[in-house]
Amino acid sequence: MKYALHIGSESEPVSENTTGLFTYTFPDIGLYQMVVKAYGSSGRFIKASQEIDLSSPQGNDTIPLDRGYITPLEYDGYTLFWNDEFNGNSVSSSNWTFEIGTGSSGWGNNELQYYTDQNAAVENETLIIEARKENVGSSQYTSARLITKNKVSFTYGRVDIRALLPHGKGMWPALWMLGENISSVGWPACGEIDIMEMVGSDDNSLEKVTHGTIHYDDGGHVYTGGSHTLTTNTLVTAYHVFSLIWDETSIKWYVDDMLFHQENIISAARSEFHNDFFFIFNVAVGGNWPGSPNNQTIFPQRMKVDYIRVFQKQ
């Protein structure tokens, strides 16, 4: 009887023996597929596989910036309209404004956090938005919500956002957009485009799923969207690139350049999506969708954004 241990998609075993007991040191944290094959004397085998999650219990601080998907700084037929690479040492006030407080009814979703201007920083070539367990006002958690309203807005283009997401039940990171005219027409008549939303979980099951959605007014609030579940690693153990390709006829959502949803925006009911939009980055804690953190949720948790780039057709 012979046993072989395979890691990931490696066709060559990392170890073989006749006992079936293996010792293996993983090179780095991450999510690994482990396969053990048991060979009979004829050379035929049976196999069993299991996914091993070695994400850091302390959160994503040990995950290097180069782990995960990366997109280029230029595309044929497009010019770079605006970007923030977060390579300085502070949040750029010419790009971003902090929204402070609890909004109305926890930003409309019964979210639990109080947003401050102290929970975001630019460090190690990334924008960090940190959710903390600390009391401010009547809130038990703090976090940050940054917007580009009145600073950066645009109609149509390709958006690439490279980010690493926070882990745990109650986390609700979002990279999204609202119509610049929200102050005059209100929500949802301004339109909302959610490029990426994730809700955290104790295990990584929900942390493989990115959601893309539009909200608008069609005789009342209407929303529709799609999602994609990663088959290798998770949104909290590697950087991924969340992209939007938005033109006169459609909005398309991608993760790591893989198209997972699209919406036609030609109809009059979707007129919202032909105006200027601005960006919002935030990490909500709790609320109607994710539910509250539990005793396995570790604080602080961080969303890290390596870059945001907007390209427009030449």
CB of 71 to Ca ion, least distance (A): 12
Which residues lie closer than 8 Å to 44 by C-beta, 6 or more apart?
none
How far apart are CB 63 and Ca ion at their closest, in Å?
14
Q: What is the DSSP letter of 108?
A: I
How far is 138 from 121, CA to CA, in rounded Å? 24
CB of 306 to Ca ion, least distance (A): 4
Beta carbon of residue 155, minimum distance to Ca ion (angstroms, whole number):
26
What residues line the site for Ca ion (CB under 5 A)? Answer: 85-86, 125, 306-307
192 belongs to the catalytic site:
yes
What is the rounded distance in angstroms from the CA atom of residue 130 to the CA atom of residue 305? 12
Of the listed 180, 197, 207, 272, which one is catalytic? 197
Task: For 166, list phi and psi in degrees, rounded to 5.
Answer: -75, 160
Closer CB to Ca ion, residue 82 or residue 307? 307
Which residues on neighbouring strands pair with residue 254, listed in sequence order? 243, 259
Q: Could you say which DSSP state residue 150 is in?
A: T
Measured at CB, which residue is nearest to Ca ion? Answer: 125
From 15, 48, 46, 18, select the one nearest 33 (Cα to Cα). 48
The whole-angstrom separation of Cα 263 and Cα 270 is 10
Query: What number of other Cβ atoms are within 10 A of residue 245's Cβ?
Result: 18
Question: Shortest approach of Ca ion to residue 68 CB, angstroms?
Answer: 13
Nearest CB to Ca ion, comparing residues 124 and 275: 124
CB of 36 closer than 8 Å to CB of 4: yes
261 with 197: CB under 8 angstroms? Answer: no
Q: Known catalytic residue: 130?
A: no
- Which residue is catalytic, options 111, 130, 180, 192? 192
Structure tokens at 104: 């109305």
- Give the residue numbers marked as catalytic: 192, 197
